[in-house]
Amino acid sequence: MAVTTGTTRPAAGRTDRPWLGQWNSTVTSYYLLVGATGLLLVIGLVMVLSSSTIESISRGDSPYLAFLTQGQYALIGLPLMLVASRLPVRWYKRLAWPALLVAVALLVAVMIVGDSVNGNQNWLPIGPVRIQPSELAKLALALWLGAVLGRKQHLLGRWGQAIAPGGIGIVVVAGLVVAGHDLGTALVIALLGLGAYWVSGAPATMLALGGGAAAAFVGWFLILNQDGSDRLDRILATYGTCADKQGECYQSIHGLYGLGTGGLFGVGLGASREKWNYLPEAHNDFIYAVVGEELGLFGTLLVLALFAVLGVAMARVVRRHPDPFVKITTAAIACWIVGQAFINIGVVIGVLPVIGVPLPLVSAGGSALVTTMIALGVVISFARTEPGAADALAARAGVVRRSVGVLSRRRGRGRGGPRGR
């Protein structure tokens, strides 16, 4: 006769916390990346439409001009992101060096024949369009650092091996960007490099010295190399007393006005007051202020949460993938996209000085949008190659195809069957 103990052990593979099983799934990173990217892209298109209409009308243009332009770039970016998400990892390793060489060549071309916008010479005219090679350089540098540092990861304990060629590449790319007076993008590039070196296992002392050197360079650039710019005034206005409310403080103050007016639930989509030519760059660098005004605190927290989801998903790829190239490249892209988002949000809420970086996937801007979508496509490709992810995705795709086939046969029998009387 069997004896029972009064307690029942759960069957193997079962858990009383089903969400934990979903979180540990091999395809969680993939779905988090796809979902957060899609939602941010939709929110960005809606907010560009809402924030740009009044300014477009005031210039005599169509109220939908900025939205249609952003939509065109999104349609360009979608197939490129899809292709990037399907390429195997070995292709990205082969593309690393050519991509960096092309990016450096384009940055040099900007110095020669580039256009200057708002004091930054970072636009390269190519026929009827203009591109920002600095955006392409971010993705190229991330891939290149992944290839270089991943191959020599066991040698990074030596300073010479750690600095050359990875550190030299970062300095060259950031230096060319700074030569065009785009300090904000250079800081994002430095953050990208820091993330790559951190995950690669470089010595902490070297990272600290690199950060100190970067801070010293920024101080030199702001104080001794102003060239008539107002960058130092912006910093003093952020961390000191803002006296000139019609000068260097104007944009920051009106960004805070927008956030404060929105309250918890916002004034309603399309009902922003600051976009009536009060807030400069309302559809670009300061679009987060319009999000806060129209959608309220909950809207801003939603955007912030989606970027946090992207960060968590990319951190999962770094932790779970066995390939050092994938780990380092993903860390670099994560520090670029999520770090740039936090910098932009910090500027809008008044924590950081105005340095002119857009909010990824949300702000208007073709080069930034397309490049960011391709970069996320690269990380999605990496997520598809996590251990067990490819088999799980193939199994789910097979289930979907069988379900569609069954539904199609049922519809066919329904149309071909006898008619009722």
SS (H, E, C) the chain: CCCCCCCCCCCCCCCCCHHHHHHCCCCHHHHHHHHHHHHHHHHHHHHHHHHHHHHHHHCCCCCCHHHHHHHHHHHHHHHHHHHHHHCCHHHHHHHHHHHHHHHHHHHHHHHHHCEEECCEEEEEEECCEEECHHHHHHHHHHHHHHHHHHHCHHHCCCHHHHHHHHHHHHHHHHHHHHHCCCHHHHHHHHHHHHHHHHHHCCCHHHHHHHHHHHHHHHHHHHHCCCCCCCHHHHHHHHHCCCCCCCCCCHHHHHHHHHHHHHCCCCCCCCCCCCCCCCCCCCCCCCHHHHHHHHHHHHHHHHHHHHHHHHHHHHHHHHHHCCCHHHHHHHHHHHHHHHHHHHHHHHHHCCCCCCCCCCCCCCCCCHHHHHHHHHHHHHHHHHHHCCCCHHHHHHHHHHHHHHHHHHHHHHHHHHHHCCCCC
Residues 6+ away with beta carbon under 8 Å from 232: 222, 223, 226
Tens-digit pLDDT profile for the chain (421 aa)?
A: 444 444 444 444 444 565 555 667 888 999 999 999 999 999 999 999 999 999 999 888 899 999 999 999 999 999 999 999 999 999 999 999 999 999 999 999 999 988 887 777 888 888 788 899 999 999 999 999 999 999 887 777 777 777 888 889 999 999 999 888 888 899 999 999 999 999 998 878 888 888 888 777 776 766 655 544 555 556 656 655 565 555 567 888 888 899 999 999 999 999 999 999 889 889 999 999 999 999 999 999 999 999 999 999 999 999 999 999 999 999 999 999 999 999 999 999 988 888 889 999 999 999 999 999 999 999 999 999 988 877 788 776 655 565 555 555 666 665 555 444 4
Instruction: List residues bridging with 126 in a β-sheet.
Output: 129
Amino acid identity at 284: N
Read off the pTM. Answer: 0.87
